[in-house]
Structures are given as C-alpha cells and as structure tokens.
Amino acid sequence: MFSNLLHSDAKSLKIIIVGNGKVGRTLIEQLSKEGNNITVIEKEQSLISDLDSQFDVIAIKGNGASYSTLQEAGIEDADLLIAVTGSDELNLLCCTIAKQFSKCAAIARVRTPDYSKEVNYLRDRLGLAMIINPELESAREMARILYLPSALQVNTFAHGQAEMIKFKIPEGNMLDQMTVANLGKHITNSILICGVERNGEVYIPSGNFCLMTGDTISFAAKRDEARKFLKHIGIYTKQVRNTMIVGGGLSSYYLANELLHAGIDVHILESSLSRCQELSTLLPDAIIVNCDASSEEGLRSAGIQEMEGFVPLTGIDEENVLLTLYAKKVSNAKVITKINRINFTEVISDLDLGSVIYPKMITAEAIIAYARALRASRSSDIDTLYHLFDTKAEAIEFRVTKDSPVVGQELKRLSLKDNLLIAFINRKEKIIIPSGSDTIEIGDTVMIVTTHTGFTEIRDILK
C-alpha cells in the first residue's frame, strides 16, 4: 500500500549534507529516495566509505566549514545546506560560510540549551532557514504523551489547535466491531479516523471500515474534542502526576523542564555525582537521585513502583529497552522508550515498549517538510509533516497560498487519490472536520493523511 509519488512539476534539489551520523544518515536515505541530488561531507572516512554503494549520492571527505570543501561539493549552485555534525559550533559555522558564498537555504542542528534559548536571534542574524534541536523536539513530543498517557503518540498541527492522536483499542472497548460510519453517527462527528494499523498493514479507512480490538488507530480532532472523545469511549485522559527519568543528559534536562512547567513531579536518576550537582542547579524543582539505575535495587529504592510515568533516556538503546520492560513489569507507569540507533523497527514494534520515540526521525521530518516546500511550485507550502506507523503513512499540513485546482470546489467533486484522507481544514484558526460539501480556500491550512509519499503541494492529492 506504500507508494512513491512525486509531482511531475516538482524540481529536484541540490542538497549538501554535512555530517553522516544518525540524523545525517536518515536524511540521506529519505531525501535521496525523493529524487534529490545529494552531496555528503564527512570528516571520518569510516562514516562515508559505504555511502556510494548504499545510496545514489556523492561523498566527500573533508571539513564542512572549509570553503574549498564546500566549493568542491558545489556550494555555489546548491539549493540547501544541512549541517548535522555532532558540534553545534561547527554546524553554525558551516551554515554561515555557505551563506557567504551562495544563495542556498541553510539548516543547522543545535542541541546546547544556551543556544536553544537564542534560536530566533541566531536564525535571523545568520540568515538561516531553520535551527532544529532533536533533543528539545523529542522532549516536547514525550511531554505531550505524558499529558495524555493513554496515547501512544500525539502530534500537533495548526499551531497546537489540532492534534493527531494514536492509541490502541483495548479489550472490551465500545469501538470493537464498530464501523467508522457508525462511530460518526452514534459517538461524534468531531473527530476523524485517519489511519488504522492491523497486523502490520496500514489502512486509510472508509466509512464501512470495521474497527477491532487491538487495532492501532490515529484520529484527528481539535484538542478539546480529542479528549472528550477519549473520555466518552472510556480511555483515561488525565496527565501523569509524576515521572521518573533515567539518565541526566540533554534529553532528560529538556523533558524535565517541560514536565515541571506543567506541574508534574520529576525524579531524575543519574550515576554521575558531578552531573547530579549540575542538574540540581539547573532544575531546582526536580528530585535528583545519584544512583545506578541499571540495577533493580536502585530503581526500587528510588520508587519506580509509585511512578505514573517512566522514561529511560540513557545513551544506550538496549538499556532503554530493558528498563522499559522492567518498568512495565513492576509498575503501572506510562512508559516511553527513546531509540537512537536500533534499526530493527519490526522487532521493536513487537515488544511492549509503550510509546517509542525516534529523535532522528523527528529531526528528519522537519527538514524533509522544508525541502519539499522548496521543491513545490508555491501554490502551497508544507507547514508540518509527520511519518505515521513507522513511515508507512504520512500526515502533511499544507498552507494554501495561491489558486490551485483544489481551491473553491466542494470536496465531494474532487477526484482524490486512493488511500488518502483530508483530515481537517484550518480556516482563520477554526478547525473544520470536513464533509463532502466543504471547500478548500486560499489562506487555509489543510492536513491530509496518505500512504503515498513525496507530496510537495496540495494539488498532489488529485488523481
């Protein structure tokens, strides 16, 4: 059901990616798959030795902040430079030099909290298209899940006014054996079921699609309507009161900050005494525990059994997975598992790991959305892009800026592609769950969900 589709009018971009770590590799894979011309700059030979054989890209060994290296990569006629090395300073320097010698757009990955507080200033002063922080964005996504612990995933659209929520239909729930059409008739028309995953297959459901226990469903709604719907069908909607975080790195700092601002008690377990002292200063309202969280005794003495939320954020994926499985065994906590490196998504999905967060994908989605907007004819731009169900589907929010074949026509008269839904229309900050008689107008933002990939503008929804 997963198809590759690029609009014929969309030009391919010349993109230079500096850094071939986790995020860089994800970007290379996604952006080359979408037909762009990719050149990769990387200092370490071991990190680029296999690129040519795996992807249709040009690999250059060198320093991305060197003008001669950028010149060799073709910076003068590049459309986009993306700097995702492990150094914030190097990423900002790469972008600054690139902007001096070309008209390309530039994106930098910046992770340090001090820089993150100055994102708007840095972006504007350096003329960057985007500064993205994977740890901060991951923390925000994890926090949204802990605010609504029954959800597996919570994505926001329309500047936070609309949400797409993913959850699993539990045993004995009223949705079991109910068609999507009957859900609209008997429960609410204020939400729209956008996608259903069953036995590894993803469906964009029609009205006669029958929901079943065990289905993982994603639905779109206004934020308050989403919670009303979940409450009506017996799904718990109150945010957690406390959360235990294992590990005291950047991700933990950002997540703790988000949770404390929402009034959630935070316990951080960290093995380094010096880092515990730093965190005590940075997060005076959090409880910082200096202990070895890899031991059962350490977790129990820290109170894991009483926790409503549990998030292991060590730098080792395997340890995060084991900690999650242990927390599931000894507590009723809502668990979130962060995966940085493991690529066995089918194995991961078979484990009971609660909500799984992939920081490299969160970063890549924002950059891919920007790259697709660069390719488009500008009748619309991409505001937001999320991959759903392990990249088997996409949710894209388009901003309609000019007249196009979809504007002004009733939706029922549009010849839409198969496996595609229009989930909502945002018109002057009013969220519309559309019917066949609604229209798309200039100035709207429109969210679509599809198993196709590569859409760059709103008219790509048409056959």
Neighbours of 246 (CB within 10 A): 28
Task: From 108, 94, 114, 100, select the one nearest 43 (Cα to Cα).
Answer: 94
pLDDT beyond 60 at 7: no
Q: What is the predicted pLDDT for the residue at 6?
A: 43
Give the CATH number, domain containing residue 412: 3.30.70.1450
Residue 200 lies in a domain: yes
Instruction: Please say if the pLDDT value at position 67 is more than 80.
Output: yes
Cβ-based neighbours of 460, under 8 Å, separated by 6 or more: 5, 7, 452, 454
Q: What percentage of the chain carries pLDDT values higher than 90? A: 74
Q: Are 222 and 162 part of one and the same domain?
A: yes
Domain boundary among 181, 215, 232: 232
272 within some domain: yes
Q: For residue 10, name the pLDDT band (cuts at 50, 70, 90).
A: low
Q: Which of 304, 324, 357 is the last residue of a domain?
A: 357
Residue 215 covered by a domain: yes
Q: Look-up: residue for tokens 């979408």?
A: 34
Separation of alpha carbons 335 and 250, rounded Å = 19
Query: For residue 9, is pLDDT > 80?
Result: no
Examine the pLDDT at 347 and tell me if it is beyond 60.
yes
CATH code at 318?
Answer: 3.40.50.720
| Whole-angstrom distance, CA of residue 176 vs CA of residue 210 | 8
Give SS3 for 440. strand
**Pairwise CA distance, residues 269 & 255, whole Å:** 13
**Shared domain check, 212 and 116:** no
Q: What is the per-residue pLDDT across 170-179, written as a single tens digit (0 to 9) for each?
A: 999 999 999 9
* Inside any domain, residue 368: no
Strands (E), 358-462: 380-388, 393-400, 420-427, 430-432, 445-450, 452-453
Angstrom distance (rounded) from CA 30 to CA 375:
15
Count of H-run helices and E-run strands, the chain: 16, 24
26 in the same domain as 88: yes
User: What distance, in Å, lies between the first and last C-alpha atoms of the chain?
Assistant: 16
Q: Quick one: 403 and 302 in the same domain? A: no
Q: What residues contact residue 194 under an 8 Å CB cut-off, 6+ apart?
A: 164, 204, 218, 219, 220, 395, 421, 423, 449
Any domain includes 418: yes
Considering the domain architecture, whether residues 128 and 9 belong to the same structural domain is answered as yes
* Residue 394 and residue 353 share a domain: no
């795996």: which residue's tokens? 54
CA 165/CA 118 separation, integer angstroms = 31
Question: Does residue 74 fall inside a structural domain?
Answer: yes
Query: How many folded domains does the chain comprise?
Result: 4
Band (pLDDT 50/70/90 cuts) for residue 268 is very high
- At 270-283, the pLDDT tens digits run 999 999 999 999 99
Same domain for 315 and 419: no
Shared domain check, 217 and 96: no
Q: Which domain holds residue 313?
A: 268-357
Assess if residue 434 is contained within a domain: yes
CB burial string 379-392: b at 16+ within 10 A, e below? bbbbbbbbbbbbbb
Tokens at 444, concatenated: 């709207």
Label residue 350 by pLDDT band (50, 70, 90).
confident
* Mean local confidence (pLDDT), 407-431: 94
Kindly state whether residues 227 and 274 are assigned to the same domain: no
Rg (CA), the chain: 23
Give Cβ neighbours of residue 261 (< 8 Å, ≥ 6 apart): none
Where is pLDDT greater, at 97 or 340?
A: 97
Confidence of residue 220 (pLDDT cuts 50, 70, 90): very high
- Euclidean distance between CA atoms 154 and 152, whole angstroms: 7
Mean local confidence (pLDDT), 422-426: 96
151 shares a domain with 128? no
- For CA atoms 220, 222, 226, 229, give the dihedral sign: negative
Pair 12, 108 in one domain: yes
> Mean of the pLDDT values across residues 50-62?
88
Q: What is the predicted pLDDT for the residue at 379?
A: 56
Tokens 């703790």 sit on residue: 256
Sheet holding 153-157, edge to edge: 153-157, 162-168, 216-222, 191-198, 201-203
Asked whether 333 and 266 are in contact (CB, 8 A), the reply is no
Domain end among 79, 98, 132: 132
Whether residues 393 and 423 share a domain: the answer is yes
* Number of neighbouring beta carbons within 10 Å of residue 287: 16
**H helix or E strand, kind and range, residue 245:** strand 242-246
Give this prediction's pTM: 0.88
DSSP character for 240? P
In a domain, 329, yes or no: yes
Beta strands at 14-18 and 37-42: parallel, antiparallel or unpaired: parallel
What does pLDDT average to over the chain? 91
Is the pLDDT at 378 greater than 80? The verdict is no
Greater model confidence, 233 or 374: 233
Evaluate if residue 453 carries a pLDDT over 90: no
> Cα–Cα distance between 332 and 443 in angstroms, integer?
45
Residue 248 has pLDDT above 90, yes or no: yes
Specify the pLDDT at position 380. Answer: 60
CA distance 228 to 84: 41
